[in-house]
Amino acid sequence: MSATFGPAGSAESFKAMGYKKSTQLPEYLKKFGLTHFEYQCGQGVRVSEDSAREIGEAFKNAGMTLSLHAPYFISLSGTEEEKRLNSINYILASAKAAKAMGAKRIVIHSGSCAKISREEALELAKDTMKRARQALISEGLEDIICCPETMGKVNQLGTLEEVIEICKVDDSFIPTVDFGHLNARTFGGIKTKQDYAEMLDKLENGLGIDRAKIFHSHFSKIMYTEKGGEKMHLTFGDNQGFGPDYEPLMELIAERDWSPTFICESAGTQTEDAKEMMDYYNSVKK
């Protein structure tokens, strides 16, 4: 088994190298040796079904895989029923676009706990995801995998433990572990290989080895404040003292023979940084 690597959205080099259309992404990614791409619907699902099919066909012909990031404004834990029902609709729209593309996984933000306790927020999120899963099944989209994401701001739902609990709602759910987010919300808490090992152990203990070893992941260096957590995404080339470092994690994934999907979310250099992670992983995998 091997890990898979790719960028989130188009890096600055995509246009700089003369590319314009999403259907050209496989050709572009091939130059870096990458085999996966995460299509961004953060501002809403605006891709038409025809366009989604064209993009999916291009990736399929290249032997590459896709995932899709659902809208950022999804709120699984919203206290207003209407907002949570809207969130289910956004998840459905994302799943339909993913299906048309041939993407299997959709990444979903967890929501906020600004006005209620974390425990209440978690229960609301679990209920929303349970209903979202039922809606997907009723629409014939049961093969689309929901991937709730760990979040970077302190007041957001989305610690690793909370995401594991959300994933327990349905056996099909796979966690999106954003290590940059977790590092930001713990104010630089990821420092050693052991820190990563403890996180991977929590995944395995919480969800079982079969789901843990194929987890979805986002990775980038993220600037944070000592109060709120995440502030902004950086690049691997930024030397401002913000982590986390990817090398210990790549070593652990190789040692455990797990096969997660790593999506790099660096600010503008996500393709190049995804390749850097992949190259290091390949150098330590025996």
Confidence of residue 204 (pLDDT cuts 50, 70, 90): very high
Q: How many domains does the chain have?
A: 1
Give me the DSSP letters along the chain: ---EEEEBS--HHHHHTT--SGGGHHHHHHTTT--EEEEE-TT-----HHHHHHHHHHHHHTT-EEEEEPPTT--TT-SSHHHHHHHHHHHHHHHHHHHHHT--EEEE---B-SSS-HHHHHHHHHHHHHHHHHHHHHTT-TTSEEEEB--SBTTBS--HHHHHHHHTT-TT---EEEHHHHHHHTTS---SHHHHHHHHHHHHHHH-HHHHTT-EEEE--EEEETTTEEEEE--TT--SS----SHHHHHHHHHHT---EEEE--TTTHHHHHHHHHHHHHHH--
User: Percentage of the chain surpassing pLDDT 90?
Assistant: 92
Whether the predicted pLDDT of 215 surpasses 80: yes
The per-residue pLDDT for 60 is 98
CATH number at residue 64: 3.20.20.150
Q: Listing from the earlier edge strand, what are the strands of the sheet with 36-40?
A: 36-40, 65-69, 105-108, 145-148
What is the number of other CB atoms lying within 10 angstroms of the CB of residue 252?
17
- Phi and psi for 136 in degrees, rounded to 5? -60, -45
Whether the predicted pLDDT of 286 surpasses 80: no
Pairwise CA distance, residues 148 & 69, whole Å = 10
82: domain range? 4-284
Confidence of residue 266 (pLDDT cuts 50, 70, 90): very high
Confidence of residue 245 (pLDDT cuts 50, 70, 90): very high
| 21-59 pLDDT, tens digit each | 999 999 999 999 999 999 999 999 999 999 999 999 999
| 83-140 pLDDT, tens digit each | 899 999 999 999 999 999 999 999 999 888 878 999 999 999 999 999 999 999 999 9
The per-residue pLDDT for 97 is 98
- Phi and psi for 153 in degrees, rounded to 5? -95, 145
Of 150, 141, 137, 64, nearest in space to 109 by CA: 150
Mean pLDDT of 208-212: 98
This prediction's pTM:
0.97
The per-residue pLDDT for 133 is 98
Burial of 95 (0-12, 13-18, 19+ CB in 10 A): buried
Which residues, including other chains, have CB under 8 Å from residue 224's CB and lie 6 or more apart?
Answer: 152, 183, 184, 185, 187, 188, 230, 231, 242
Pairwise CA distance, residues 161 & 167, whole Å = 10
